[in-house]
């Protein structure tokens, strides 16, 4: 879950039941296929295809997608193929993005095409190349927990604590979140230490973090840690003894 993809956000096409006789459909397709360049200028978002049958709408969208692809506009080509519900052509766009090594776009398109094998392939490729953020994105889309754990561990080893937090939070792995929090604490990355312990619902570690922050006179962050730990005595202590808080 899942936030709508960038490719599908903002689409305003309304697909309703056809109101044109089937007898006219082939003639319409021939006529409008010649108008594809003009339809492309108008833009997918501004088209209204509600007066056509599902078959004609799909053919028009496929024709637009093909033209967009020929012109190198893979973004709009993918949008057209998605609206046409044509997974085979979406996969072609994914392959085009592979050639361009645009891994984020690869993942996005293969996810919409439902191509799990390609997502796993991209994820493994990104791990090999050290593109851990993109690898995580691919494995999340493929719902591959085992490989996500590998990515999370590599992120910790590379001190990419923000990415590690994203992975372990996605997995709801409290043990790994605590491990990450302790690693962050060791390297004075207190923000992610607090986030990790809070996500793991570990109040003991939050208090430990608060104590360390208080010793280092990082009062505001210490207060945050104690609040999350529901440590009312320490919250009251800070508020009573540090005027600014």
Contacts of 27 (CB under 8 A, 6+ apart): none
What residue ranges define each of the domains in the chain, with the CATH number in brackets? 11-85 (no CATH), 173-245 (1.25.40)
8-17, 108-117, 118-127, 192-201: least confidently modelled range: 8-17
DSSP SS3 for 18: coil
Structure pTM? 0.79
DSSP class of 20: S
Task: Give me 20's structure tokens.
Answer: 């044109």
Confidence tier at 15 by pLDDT (50, 70, 90): very low
Q: Quick one: pLDDT at residue 10?
A: 46
Q: Quick one: pLDDT at residue 33?
A: 65
Q: Measured between alpha carbons, how far is 238 from 233 in angstroms, rounded to an integer?
A: 9
**How many Cβ atoms from other residues are within 10 Å of residue 233's Cβ?**
8
Residue 8 has pLDDT above 70, yes or no: no
Which tops the pLDDT comparison, 37 or 146? Answer: 146
Instruction: Residue 196: name the closest of 130, 148, 143, 208 by CA.
Output: 208
Confidence tier at 243 by pLDDT (50, 70, 90): low
């Amino acid at each position: 879950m899942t936030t709508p993809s960038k490719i599908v956000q903002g689409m305003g096409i309304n697909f309703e039941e056809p109101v044109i006789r089937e007898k006219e459909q082939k003639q319409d397709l021939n006529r409008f296929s010649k108008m594809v360049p003009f339809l492309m200028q108008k833009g997918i978002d501004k088209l209204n295809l509600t007066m056509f049958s599902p078959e004609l709408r799909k053919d028009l969208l496929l024709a637009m997608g093909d033209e967009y692809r020929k012109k190198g506009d893979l973004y709009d080509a993918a949008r057209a193929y998605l609206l046409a519900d044509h997974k085979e052509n979406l996969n072609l766009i994914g392959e085009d993005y592979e050639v361009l090594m645009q891994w984020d776009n690869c993942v996005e398109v293969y996810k919409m095409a439902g191509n799990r094998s390609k997502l796993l392939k991209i994820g493994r490729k990104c791990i090999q190349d050290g593109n851990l953020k993109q690898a995580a994105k691919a494995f999340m889309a493929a719902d591959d927990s085992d490989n996500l754990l590998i990515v999370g561990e590599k992120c910790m080893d590379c001190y990419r604590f923000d990415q590690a937090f994203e992975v372990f939070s996605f997995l709801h792995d409290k043990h790994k979140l605590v491990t990450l929090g302790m690693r962050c604490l060791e390297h004075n990355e207190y923000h992610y230490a607090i986030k990790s312990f809070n996500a793991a619902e570990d109040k003991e570690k939050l208090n430990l973090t608060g104590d360390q922050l208080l010793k280092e006179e990082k009062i505001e962050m210490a207060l945050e840690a104690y609040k999350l730990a529901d440590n009312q005595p320490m919250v009251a202590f800070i508020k009573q003894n540090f005027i600014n808080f």
